[in-house]
Amino acid sequence: MLGHGTFAKVYHSRNLHSGKSVAMKVIGKEKVIKVGMMDQIQREISVMKMVKHPNIVELHEVMASKSKIYIAMELVRGGELFSKVARGRLREDAARVYFQQLISAIDFCHSRGVYHRDLKPENLLLDEEGNLKVTDFGLSAFSEHLKQDGLLHTTCGTPAYVAPEVIGKKGYDGARADLWSCGVILYVLLAGFLPFQDDNLVAMYRKIYRGDFKCPPWFSSESRRLVTKLLDPNPASRITISKVMESSWFRKSIPKTVRSKEEIEFDAFNCEEDESKSEKSKETLNAFHIISLSEGFDLSPLFEEKKKMEKEELRFATTRPASSVISRLEEVGKAGKFSVKKSETKVKLQGQASGRKGKLGIQAEIFAVTQSFFVVEVKKDNGDTLEYNQFCSKELRPALKDILWTSAAAAVVDHSTVA
């Protein structure tokens, strides 16, 4: 057993087939139903299925028996961030790394319409490499929970970390409320104590309402400025997550001695054709390949749920030469500030800026159906699916519009040849 609460126990468990260790949360159904918390458990499971991110504890599997619910999650061995802070304040560069990872995870949640609503150091775990992992989505809310005024109305969270508008019970923006909590966490990391403290809860709430706190003298001017903007009691003027990520303090980074996985893979990508392949023997598609590429024959929905908006690949046909397609993809990539590698039938684009799941990587490959008809397959290689889909819809599709195969060009293809 790793720990236990009122309704659940968490065990260190092992997959008998793969040998992989997981944290198994075992929840007693009867207790949960008795206190009316089944909706909260279902919500936590739904959220964790949606938010797959390097800085969020991963949900592997959910099982159930008549009396128990079993949630297999990523085993995070480094303990709570709280235990580090309990020993005293952190160095500014160490606090920055944790804060960057926290903001990356919360920005990703918000992009999926998920608001955590109980952010505090006790809900931030550390893995063996010291990376932060957000956990405990039991009090989270979806954008579907917004009332007609577009706000959330449930008062929840931990008093010392909760935003003033949440206490006010007049409705609040989940994203801005989460950012207030992030501001309290940043203050705690840098100071070693809470910004708002009082033995009397009502007195503490008054301080939170007024934004009544002071930064210790050891705070740098940049960190002081950011904390003040985060702990603005007025949610309308509080700094947004995009502005946090643009701030000078946030953008400072510790020098990296090791390149990212995406950069290594991009450099290792060999676009050059195999010398043994002649021009005539380059990969072509037969009828079976074409059928398998057709959405009408795609059987994957029978085996897995995948939202249309979360597709990680697209295909299109063209009668333009492969060299024209490669050139166009290269143009689109460079316009979008991607690094580009190419060959006669492949292109790889590597984003330079880090997104919600690292740097976006896109790979395109051209297959010949006939000498004058090609199918182009574009896939997300790494990074965030939502960012990939946005790039495809806003940048890639419009740029390729004039080279797509249309019904007017249908005569170019001899269907008997394809069949």
Could you report the per-residue pLDDT of 275-318, keeping only the tens digit for each?
Answer: 444 444 455 666 656 555 555 544 444 444 444 445 667 788 88
pLDDT reading at 81 higher than 60: yes
CA distances from 381 to 217, 334, 344 (A): 46, 17, 19
Residue pair 185/124 in contact (Cβ under 8 Å)? The answer is yes
- Lowest-pLDDT range of 92-101, 182-191, 195-204, 315-324: 315-324
pLDDT reading at 368 higher than 90: no
pLDDT digits (tens, 9 = 90+) for 14-65: 999 999 999 999 999 888 888 888 888 888 888 888 888 999 999 999 999 9
pLDDT digits (tens, 9 = 90+) for 235-254: 999 999 999 999 999 998 75
> Domains in the chain, please, with CATH?
3-74 (3.30.200.20), 81-251 (1.10.510.10), 261-418 (3.30.310.80)
pLDDT reading at 11 higher than 90: yes
Could you tell me what percent of the chain has a pLDDT over 90?
39
pLDDT of 311: 61
The residues with which 342 forms a beta bridge, in sequence order, are 347
Burial zone of 167 (CB within 10 Å; 0-12 exposed, 13-18 middle, 19+ buried)? middle
Whether the model pTM is above 0.85 = no
Is residue 216 very low, low, confident or very high in pLDDT (cuts 50, 70, 90)? very high
Catalytic residue among 39, 93, 107, 118: 118
Residue 25 is inside which H or E element, if any?
Answer: strand 21-28
pLDDT of 55: 93
Residue 9 is inside which H or E element, if any?
Answer: strand 8-14
Residue pair 161/119 in contact (Cβ under 8 Å)? The answer is yes
Is residue 29 a known part of a binding site? yes
pLDDT of 342: 86
118 as an active site residue: the answer is yes
Instruction: Compute the average pLDDT of residues 76-95.
Output: 90
pLDDT of 150: 75
Concatenated DSSP letters of 129-179: T--EEE---TT-EEGGG--TTS-B----S-GGG--HHHHTTS-B-HHHHHH
Distance, CA of 316 to CA of 409 (rounded, Å): 13
pLDDT digits (tens, 9 = 90+) for 155-167: 888 899 999 999 8
